[in-house]
Structure 1
Amino acid sequence: MSALVNVMNEETTLLRAGHVRQASTLTPDKARLAQDYVGFARSVQRQGDRLRAEAPTAVERLKLGHESLATQMAENLRVLATARTVTEDILTDVAKVVGQQNKAKTYGRAGTIAADPGSAARGIAINRSL
């Protein structure tokens, strides 16, 4: 559990600093540790009564660790959501600017700026899997 908290903390720190590529290298470890955690948590749930009777102190430490993990997970999700929003905003702004640059800037017969659809920007692709 502490390894998962540490990986999420490191990812959160990197994302806050704007190091998205470095943070993405932690994804395989984070996924593996999260999967292990879920498996262990299910085992603990199945043996909850026995564990509370035989090792109440350890169960209490486990609860505290889970609270720490939940806090770190919430913070990590907030930072991920912010990074995603910022990325989408930047890409949207770039797409708008690229589209504006390719518009014709001459006047047509009616005295308005004529738009030539053939020369307009075709757009850019945005990968929303972040």
Structure 2
Amino acid sequence: MTAAARLAALDTLPAGDLCSRAETALASLVNVMNQETMLLRAGHLRQASELTPEKTRLAQEYVTFARAIQRETKRIVAEAPQLMDRLRAGHESLATQMAENLRVLATAKTVTEDVLTDVARMVGQNNRTKTYGTAGRVTADPASSAKGIAINRAL
């Protein structure tokens, strides 16, 4: 089935079915994001990253339904206005969860960068020469500073 045929099939679903599917995808997405946020807060970065494929799949699924609902808004409002209200409330819940998730991700990234920067700085300090040069100052040999420590900013 082509993408156009799948979209057309969504557009012809009864309002209740379309909204129900969107609501299920939305609730699942919020749930996965909540799990990820909790894992990140607990410092379990690897476990949190394992949720990424599922979160991506659910986000794509939800966007597909949301776009179908946007195309069919007039029909859905006419047939089932209460379902649109529930979807709007669910979408607000998603927005709140996303904001919290992004805040926690930014904090985890900052903490990770700070730790790695501090480690690199300390390793570099330990490798410096601790003798006096001809001017009576401790000389720093840039060639002896730490090498091989990198910070991956793509958290």
Q: TM-score range by the shorter chain?
A: over 0.9
Write out per-residue CA displacement over residues 63-118 of structure 1, whole angstroms, 9 at most, x where no aligned residue: 11111111111100100010001001111111110111110000011110012233
Corresponding residue number in structure 1 for 2:128 = 103
2:117 maps to which of 80, 92, 106: 92
Is 1:77 matched with 2:83? Answer: no
Corresponding residue number in structure 1 for 2:142 = 117
Corresponding residue number in structure 1 for 2:51 = 26
TM-score, structure 2 normalization? 0.81
Unmatched tracts of structure 2, length 5 or more:
1-25
1:6-85 superposed matches below 5 A: 6-85=31-110
Q: How many residue pairs are counted as aligned between the two chains?
A: 130
8 Å contact 1:105–1:113 — kept in the other structure? yes
- Return the alpha-carbon distance in structure 2 between the equivalents of residues 48 and 12 of structure 1: 32
8 Å contact 1:5–1:68 — kept in the other structure? yes
8 Å contact 1:14–1:22 — kept in the other structure? yes
- Return the alpha-carbon distance in structure 1 between the equivalents of residues 38 and 147 of structure 2: 37
TM-score, structure 1 normalization? 0.96
Aligned-pair distance for 1:122?
A: 2.3
Unmatched tracts of structure 1, length 5 or more:
none
- Return the alpha-carbon distance in structure 2 between the equivalents of residues 120 and 87 of structure 1: 21
- Return the alpha-carbon distance in structure 1 between the equivalents of residues 109 and 35 of structure 2: 18
RMSD, matched Cα: 0.9
8 Å contact 1:99–1:123 — kept in the other structure? no
- Return the alpha-carbon distance in structure 1 between the equivalents of residues 145 and 117 of structure 2: 16
Write out per-residue CA displacement over residues 7-57 of structure 1, whole angstroms, 9 at most, x where no aligned residue: 000000010011111101000000100111111111100000110001101
| Greater than 3 Å deviation, 4+ residue runs | none
8 Å contact 1:104–1:116 — kept in the other structure? yes
Q: Which amino acid aligns with 1:118?
A: A
- Return the alpha-carbon distance in structure 2 between the equivalents of residues 27 and 47 of structure 1: 30
